[in-house]
Amino acid sequence: MYTLLKYLCEMLVVAVPAAVVFACFWPYRRRALRAMGLRTSPWREAGLILFILCLSGVLAVTLWPVYWIEDSPGLWGDILLLVERPSVWYNVNLVPFRMFRDYWEDLTRGDGFFTLLNFLGNLAVFAPLGFFPALLFRGARMGRSVLVGLGVSILVEVGQYVLVRSTDIDDVILNTLGALAGYGLYRLLRALAPGFTQRFQVQVEVPNGRERGTGGPAPGAGAGQL
């Protein structure tokens, strides 16, 4: 529980300011949407802010230098590590599924609780990156959610290599699976409560002043929405 709260605090340090900055652009986004004949809703704005919180929180925890978030030799020691990298392959694993084999060995030895908790935690961290793009943007497709999860995961691993933190191909696989799980959660929610998920879509303004959901591309509107 302590570790979970620790990571949550580390995420919020960056996530909350990022969400505040995003919210400051709301008047501009509202005008841009109106120019395209669209209107947002409080539900969608709340969803967008939650998405920003999750995305910036993940980047904060994974890309901050180690001396900011963990016990380490200290600032100077970590700077020396950045400058004098022990080797090109230091803390790098490019062998797929090695981590999954380690998980399985832990489970067979009876150390299943913490192994399962770590596995599910990694999935849960990236699940919002598959869930929110499908929920908030038109033309929801599994491929879009997978690409978001894959792209962010690759960015994280490259950034961790630069910062001399652990870089693992299995993290890319696991994180992408997390995004895929998030998309699956969206499909389940849409099947159970289609009216609820529709609240998170932009609405097309029609001449008589009423609105309709944007289940498909809106006439005259761009493919991507703000």
- Low-confidence winner among 16-20, 81-85, 169-173, 181-185 (lowest mean pLDDT): 81-85
Q: CA nearest 41: which of 135, 131, 182?
A: 135
C-alpha–C-alpha distance, residues 55 and 22, integer Å:
12
Residue 226 or residue 114, greater confidence: 114
pTM over 0.85: no
Instruction: Spell out a b/e string for 153-171, using b for 16 or more CB atoms within 10 Å of the CB, else e.
Output: beebbeebbebbbebbbbb
- Low-confidence winner among 54-68, 151-165, 176-190, 211-225 (lowest mean pLDDT): 211-225
C-alpha–C-alpha distance, residues 76 and 82, integer Å:
10
Confidence class for position 207, pLDDT limits 50, 70, 90: low
C-alpha–C-alpha distance, residues 31 and 25, integer Å:
10
| Token reading at 43 | 């539900």
- State how far Cα 67 lies from the chain centre: 23
Residue with tokens 């998405």: 51
Q: Dihedral (C-alpha) 4, 8, 9, 13: value to the nearest 10 degrees?
A: 160
Kindly report, residue by residue over 93-117, the tens digit of the pLDDT.
998 988 888 888 877 887 667 777 7
C-alpha–C-alpha distance, residues 177 and 150, integer Å:
9
- Please state the domain extents for the chain: 2-207
Which positions ≥6 away from 28 have C-beta within 8 Å? none
Q: Considering the chain, what is the average pLDDT of its residues?
A: 80
Kindly report, residue by residue over 132-163, the tens digit of the pLDDT.
999 998 878 899 999 999 999 999 999 888 88
- 3-state secondary structure at position 64: coil
Confidence (pLDDT) at 222: 44
Kindly report, residue by residue over 2-53, the tens digit of the pLDDT.
455 666 777 777 788 888 888 888 888 888 888 888 888 889 999 999 999 8
Pairing of strands 92-93, 38-39: unpaired
Residue 78 or residue 56, greater confidence: 56
